[in-house]
Amino acid sequence: MQESGEISGEKLSPKISILRAARGFVVRVPLSLPLLVVAGTLLGGQTGWACAAAGLVVACLLRAPRVFLCSVLCGALVWLTQDCRERNLQRTLADSGGGAICLQGVIVSSTPRYFVLETGWLGIRAEIRGEGEWNPGDEVRVMASPVTLPEPPVEGMYSASKRMRGQGVSGAYTAFRVEKTGTSFGIGQLRRLATLCREKLLSRIMPPGTEDDVRRQTLCALVLGEKSEAAPETMELFLRSGCLHVFAVSGLHVGIVAWLVGLLLRAGRVHPRVCRVIILAATGVYVFLTGMAVPALRAYTMLLALLGALILHRRTNLANTWCCAALIVLVVQPWQIYQAGFQLSFAVYAAICLGVRYGMGRKTWFGPDDYLPVRLRNRWERMQMTAELALRGAVIVSLCAWLVSLPLTMSLFHTVNPCSYLTNLALVPILPVVMALGLLWLVLGGVPVLGAALGVLAMRGAGLLISVVSFFSELPGTYLSARRPAEPGEGLVLGLPYGKSISLLGNPGVMVGDVTREGDARYTAWPAAFHAGFSPAWIYGVGENTPAAGIYTRSWPNAQLCAADELTSPRRFKTRAGVFTIYPAAESLPLRSAENRHPVILWERTDGSRILYAGDAAQSTLESLPPAEQRADILILGRNHRDPIVDPRLLRAIGAGRIIQLPSVIRRGEPSVPVPSGVRMEQLSSPENPLLRIFPPPAQRQ
């Protein structure tokens, strides 16, 4: 009997050990199961409901009734909140009948172009677009019409609908009447007060007339998280180097504020218990002034739990505190689960905690023997120990953050930065010093001599920080697309509103269209080509000294730039995508007119097919080509206002079996292009609904 009992005991020991390990984890981290239930309920679908059910089942199997009850209550609260919001949205849309809608509520946030209106705690959140002086906390009544937001043509480009989803906004509306009815003294008024205080603090770092100073822009974004003062070039610099996250107020900022306050209080010999209370109050004010971003709230919640446990002489668990912070954020603002900031903040912090726990407890990399007691070490050995701990901590923290953020940035932003780990590792000794100097400048800037000295040191530190970031941003392969590169024979034609368009022919090939303006280059042309996997070899219409040139050359340093007035004779070059010939405007046309500077591009692909890009070129330019060069399988056609391509004989002579019309062809009030018989005519886009056409290499003509 004893032998059989031992045998049966050996068979059950793995199950018992697993249950004991699970029970021990739940005992140490009891909020992990409620967090799993809440996250699953918010995500929905088969996977989400399976996670929520798994959390409840595990709580039952482990016989943890309090954890089970907490999970049920949190999940039910989140589900009821989501259901009430959805019902209110459907009721509001039904009352409007698809036309104008009347909304009444409180402004929770505002920008110069729109504001976010909340109709109540369980009401809807709507984005109201229109000009006006609107401030958070204002109670308004709005008459507006719904706006249809198109999805970006290339995944990875800016998406307004994705941004609104992350803010819990149900839809966008254009206001044609806004009436202020009062002022609310809730969270909106607190945000307004924080904005006013932040503006006064920013005036100390950036006085009037210094808005173009990159160092001051960096300090404003770094210390107070005010990215609106940073120029697009500054944001792009930190984005390409992989350290844009330093502009978001997070655990690093809260930790440095707490460290500075604690250092000053310790110098004043304040009692530790009083010191902890003051640290919590000071960091809370800082989080409030910086806009109460989710990463900052996460850090402050965890700091509150840890210092509160020390004040009350209670034990705390870091993992349970992490779950508590995530649970509070999701219960109060359920839409944060879709925010990239929420996902990156909690995932990176969890990875850092695990890495520090298991990496810092290993054998030292250099320095004195681990088994030598600290009290027996001399000064040199203690300095070695401190340096080794600092270096090992910086390497482990940066590596863990990079490894976790890499798949998240690939899935959220469709980008990858292989050098961001080196950039953040180089910033470890610089960033805390610059932030500390900037914070001290804000607080002590009014002191006559000390304030000026802190300002000079902060500016020099910001300059050093920018130099390091600039060095790493210029390394090859620092900012890459997570998409696969386009095939050599692929082409991309992107239609934009107001008759604009961008065409990418081949990879590598030619980029042509509305690519000359800095705004079009920064927000449309470059993102579309970058995320679609294209690397142009020739960019037509952009001079080397124009602002758009810098945007292109940073991603494609080998691309040839050619301004419209530089092309006076046909140019021919060959890539693995085929042979390209660019024909300038006809000599008989007045080149001083911008309408006649459009070229004609012939792309002869490796499979023998031919694509002719006429674009907005004049018919005289197309007729000036040799007859053999006018034939094509695909014709990309726009409209020239002075000399449009509308001759049916010319279109039949080209022999294209497919004609892609650019948005400039179908602008209101202009005649349509005659369609030859047997030709497949495609209208690329309309101003209200831009579309994308990616065409693979077609079969050779019979």
Residue 594 lies in a domain: yes
Final residue of a structural domain among 169, 184, 199:
184
- Residue 144 — pLDDT band, cuts 50, 70, 90? confident
Average pLDDT estimate for 152-156: 82
CA–CA separation, 171 and 124 (whole Å):
9
- Look up residue 61 and give its amino acid: L
Residues 124 and 17 in one domain: no
Please say if the pLDDT value at position 603 is more than 90.
yes
Number of domains in the chain: 3
Q: What was the pLDDT predicted at 464?
A: 93
Residue 426 lies in a domain: no
Please say if the pLDDT value at position 5 is more than 50.
no
Please identify which residue in the block is written with the tokens 């009347």: 102
pLDDT digits (tens, 9 = 90+) for 82-140: 888 888 888 877 776 667 888 888 888 888 788 888 888 778 888 888 877 788 888 88
Residues 572 and 639 in one domain: yes
Residues 537 and 628 in one domain: yes
Share of the chain above pLDDT 90, in %: 13
**CB distance 120 to 92 below 8 Å:** no
Residue 389 lies in a domain: no
- Residue 2 — pLDDT band, cuts 50, 70, 90? very low
Indicate the burial class of 595 (C-beta count within 10 angstroms; 0-12, 13-18, 19 or more).
middle
Please say if the pLDDT value at position 687 is more than 60.
no
Q: What was the pLDDT predicted at 8?
A: 43
Residue 317 lies in a domain: no
Residues 76 and 132 in one domain: no
Average pLDDT estimate for 341-369: 80
3-state class percentages of the chain: helix first, strand second, coil last, to nearest 5: 50, 15, 30
Residues 16 and 127 in one domain: no
DSSP 434-486: HHHHHHHHHHHTTSHHHHHHHHHHHHHHHHHHHHHHHHHHTSTTSSEESSPPP
Q: What was the pLDDT predicted at 595?
A: 63
Average pLDDT estimate for 600-605: 92
Is the bond preceding residue 696 a cis peptide, omega within 30 degrees? no
Residue 311 lies in a domain: no
Final residue of a structural domain among 87, 121, 146:
87
Indicate which CATH number applies to the domain containing 678: 3.60.15
DSSP letter (8 states) at residue 521? I
pLDDT digits (tens, 9 = 90+) for 493-546: 888 777 788 999 999 999 998 888 888 898 889 999 999 889 999 998 888 888
pLDDT digits (tens, 9 = 90+) for 424-470: 888 888 988 998 899 889 888 888 888 889 989 999 999 999 999 99
pLDDT digits (tens, 9 = 90+) for 624-670: 888 888 888 888 888 887 788 888 888 888 888 888 888 887 654 45
DSSP 230-247: S-HHHHHHHHHHT-GGGG
Residues 36 and 128 in one domain: no
Residues 555 and 689 in one domain: yes
Q: Indicate yes or no: pTM above 0.85.
A: no
Q: What was the pLDDT predicted at 137?
A: 81
Give the domain extent around 180.
98-184
Indicate which CATH number applies to the domain containing 160: 2.40.50.140
Residue 497 lies in a domain: yes
Residue 168 lies in a domain: yes
Final residue of a structural domain among 87, 107, 137:
87
Please say if the pLDDT value at position 185 is more than 80.
no
Residues 77 and 137 in one domain: no
Orientation angle between helical segments 431-444 and 187-205, nearest 10 degrees = 100
Residues 565 and 669 in one domain: yes
DSSP 345-392: HHHHHHHHHHHHHHHTTS--SSSS-TTS-GGG--HHHHHHHHHHHHHH
CA–CA separation, 655 and 527 (whole Å):
34
Give the DSSP H or E segment for 141: strand 138-147
Measured between its terminal Cα atoms, the distance across the chain in Å is: 87
Inter-CA distances, 99 with 87, 118, 140, 289, 469, Å:
19, 20, 20, 40, 50
Q: What was the pLDDT predicted at 1?
A: 39
Q: What was the pLDDT predicted at 566?
A: 81
State the chain's maximal CA–CA distance in angstroms: 109
Which has more confidence, 504 or 306? Answer: 504
Q: What was the pLDDT predicted at 520?
A: 87
Give me 368's structure tokens. 């004195």
Please say if the pLDDT value at position 165 is more than 80.
yes
Q: What was the pLDDT predicted at 104?
A: 87
- Residue 601 — pLDDT band, cuts 50, 70, 90? very high
Residues 19 and 127 in one domain: no
pLDDT digits (tens, 9 = 90+) for 11-51: 445 656 677 777 777 788 888 899 999 999 998 888 889 99
Residues 554 and 687 in one domain: yes
pLDDT digits (tens, 9 = 90+) for 247-293: 888 888 888 888 888 888 888 888 888 898 999 999 999 988 888 88
- Residue 4 — pLDDT band, cuts 50, 70, 90? very low
Average pLDDT estimate for 203-210: 86
Residue 479 lies in a domain: no
- Residue 673 — pLDDT band, cuts 50, 70, 90? low
Share of the chain above pLDDT 70, in %: 90
Inter-CA distances, 238 with 256, 524, 614, Å:
21, 20, 39
Q: What was the pLDDT predicted at 509?
A: 92
CA–CA separation, 204 and 219 (whole Å):
11
Residues 513 and 612 in one domain: yes
